[in-house]
Each structure stands twice: as structure tokens, then as C-alpha cells.
Structure 1
Amino acid sequence: MPVYQVVTSGIELTEEQREALATRFTRTHHETTGAPDPFVRVVFQPMPLGLMYTAGRVEPSFILNAACRAGRSEQTRHELMDKLYEVIQEVVDLPADQVVLIVSDTPSGWLMEAGMVLPEPVHDAEVQWMRKINEQFPGKYAQYV
């Protein structure tokens, strides 16, 4: 379920940078939270300079808004944020004041993936959910059961 929305203004990402960010955000999310990587979505939304303001002025900006399933610890969230920030700096190398990173939590019961409400981020609930999704899509997610 996690959806990573990258909004940039005045910062043009190359195809290679987008691919690197998408791949590394996915890997980072999976390694930090244990969430299966096939469900990580990364969306890039470039905006022309002049359509995003900081303190009332046009400034280059890179915003990463990560919408995640609620239920993980504050420590896990901070670890995820630190690692995501490192990825951004390694791939794009921006001044720190141009980067905004948001990790917002949404209750599992408010989320749906593949037509099924998501389980709480608890091992047994996730295993049961993955079994059901494997019944709907035989073999596609077998490695995650």
C-alpha cells in the first residue's frame, strides 16, 4: 500500500534518477517495515518552477510524501525517514532546505489493495491476508506467503 509521492518544482529529475529513487524507496520501505515490495507505489509529479512557493517565494523544492499503513513504532518511522532522506541526497544531492519529507499514517481499515482491506501490520494478520491475495492471484505473490 505505501504510496510515495514525489513532487518537484525547479528540480528536474532524469529518468535514471527517477528509476533509482523508485527502486531505492521500495527497497528501503521493504527492509525497514517488512511490507512486501510489490505493494509499494512511487509517483513522480514534476511542477514547473513558479507553481510552488516556500515562505511566499518561488523556490526549488523536493517533497516526498509517503502515505503508509499505521501501526508501526515511532522508532521505525524515524528510521524510515532517515533512510529515505539519505536516498534522496545520494541520488539527487540537494541542499537540505529544499527537501521536505512527510510520512503519514493511515489506519489499515481505511486502505484497500487488490480489492481487499489491508490487515494490521502484525505478522499473523499479514500472512492470512497474503494467503487470500494469493488465492485471487495464483503465483503472483507466492514468495511473500
Structure 2
Amino acid sequence: MATYSINYAGISLTTHQKFTIAKAITKIHADVTGAETYFAQVIFKQLDPHDCFIGSVLLDEPHLFLSGQIRSGRGEQMKKQLLVELEVAIQSVSGLAGHQIWAYIDEIIPCQMIEYGQILPAVGDDSVWFSTLPVGIQKKLNFLNS
């Protein structure tokens, strides 16, 4: 239900750093929104610094760009908390300064999303949605959530 894409340039992230960031994002998303952890995906992509421009000027220092797509239906304060906590966690793991981490949250109407083969539920209807999934998928998601 939440896909967090991380594009970064001018910095190398180790597999351990990626794992640590993915784990932090998943926990923060679950803690702040109340969604189960299996609803968070994190995707990393390293960019060539020569392909990144800010204000039509070539990037002159390392940057990390986080774009989060979440289900609509959450309040403004929750989204602000989510952004702040995500930025702090990424800063801690990556060693980047706050001005080098740019983060965005985009909302998508749940009926415009499919995960695990099913249209996603409105915020708050997760348990009903979960009960409609095939038993094998339920077992997999329970494992991911543990």
C-alpha cells in the first residue's frame, strides 16, 4: 500500500545500509499510519550524478530523493510526521545532511491500486481485505508481518 522509491546520486549505499533504511521506513510507516508492515515496499535506485540536475545545474553534492506513494485518507499531521521521521531515519543511516535528503508523499485512491492480486481497501478496512485473500497469501503476509 505504500511504495517508497529511493533514488540517490553521489553516494554509495551498502546492502546493509539499504536493509537498515528499508527496515526503518517499514517500521515508521507502520507505526505512524497503523498499517501492517507487509504493506510497505522500498525500492532503491542509484543514479549517475551526471544525470541529476537541480535548477538546471548539475548536482554538486550527494543527494537522496525519497518518493512515497501511500493510500489517501490520512490526515495532514500524520503525513507531516511520516515525512519528518523518514527523513531523520535516512539521515541517520546514510550520513547525509538534511538539505541533501528530499522527500515527497503522494496519495493514491485505494481503488486505483492492486497488491497481492487484489484492489486495495480504504484506510481502516485492512482486516476485511486481508480475510478475502487466499490462505497462501495470508500465510505469506503473516510471515512478513512477524
Normalising by structure 1, we get a TM-score of 0.90
70-79 or 31-40, larger mean C-alpha shift? 31-40
Query: 1:117 matched to which residue of 2?
Result: 119
Question: Structure 1, residues 89-136: CA drift from partner, whole Å, max 9, x if none?
Answer: 1111212222110011000110111111111102xx221101112545
- Secondary structure of 1:43's counterpart equals strand
Question: Is 2:106 the counterpart of 1:101?
Answer: no
Matched residue, 1:52: 52
Instruction: Please say if residues 4 and 69 of structure 2, whose CA atoms lie closer than 8 Å, have aligned partners that are also in contact.
Output: yes
Paired residues of 1:77 and 1:103 also in contact (CA < 8 A): yes
The equivalent of 1:6 in structure 2 is 6
Structure 2 residue ranges without an equivalent (≥5): none
Q: Which runs of 5+ in 1 are unaligned?
A: none
Please give the alpha-carbon distance, in whole angstroms, between the structure 2 residues aligned to 1:42 and 1:50: 24
Contact kept, 8 Å, 1:134 with 1:142, in 2: the verdict is no
Among all aligned residue pairs of Structure 1 and Structure 2, give the percentage whose two residues are the same amino acid. 25
Aligned equivalents of 2:134, 2:88: Cα separation in 1: 34
Tell me if structure 1 keeps the 8 A contact 2:87–2:98. no
Give the 3-state SS of the residue equivalent to 1:140 in structure 2: helix
> Once the two structures are superposed, what CA deviation does each residue of 1:57-96 show, in whole Å capped at 9, x if it has no partner?
2223210000111100101101101100110111112122
Q: How many residues align?
A: 142
Higher mean displacement: 55-64 or 41-50? 55-64
Q: Is the 8 A contact 1:6 1:42 kept in 2?
A: yes
TM-score (norm: length of structure 2): 0.90
In the alignment, what sits opposite 1:80?
82
Q: Alignment partner for residue 65 of structure 2, among 50, 63, 66?
A: 63
Rounded Cα–Cα distance in structure 1 between residues aligned with 2:138 and 2:40: 20
Separation in structure 1 between the aligned mates of residue 140 and residue 16 of structure 2, nearest angstrom: 27
